[in-house]
Amino acid sequence: MGLLGASAVGAMKTSLKQNKDLRLKRKSLKDVRETYGSKSHIKANPQFKKASPEELRTLKLKLEKERKQNAQIKALVIVVLFIIGVIGVYFVVN
């Protein structure tokens, strides 16, 4: 029994030492900023391409179709789960 406790204590000491070593190796915020440099390559005001009315209509129709499909799938999942729940309650009660 004594050996098991000693090995646990040794493992804890090793773990603490490793964690301490990791903590000392951290870079400061200044070093991190210098590593990644400035963000001048990111534009503050991106320019978007102008879409024609026809493109906007097709996009709108596509989005509406996707929303309807997602709503139908959600409704189907809810109905199936409800039915499974009712059947489960029925078997638990009987």
pLDDT tens per residue, range 16-44: 888 887 776 667 777 777 777 666 556 56
Q: Which residue has the higher pLDDT, 77 or 47?
A: 77
pLDDT exceeds 60 at position 3: no
Judged against a pLDDT cut of 70, whether residue 5 lies above it is answered with no
3 state SS of 94:
coil
Enumerate the H helices of the chain as residue ranges.
2-24, 29-36, 53-93
Q: What percent of the chain has a predicted confidence (pLDDT) above 70?
A: 80
Please state, in angstroms and rounded to a whole number, the distance separating the CA atoms of residues 4 and 36.
Answer: 47
pTM of the model: 0.45
Q: Taking all residues of the chain, what is their mean pLDDT, rounded to a whole number?
A: 84
Buried-state track 3-39, b at ≥16 Cβ within 10 A, e below 16: eeeeeeeeeeeeeeeeeeeeeeeeeeeeeeeeeeeee
Q: Name the band, by pLDDT with cuts 50, 70 and 90, for residue 10.
A: confident
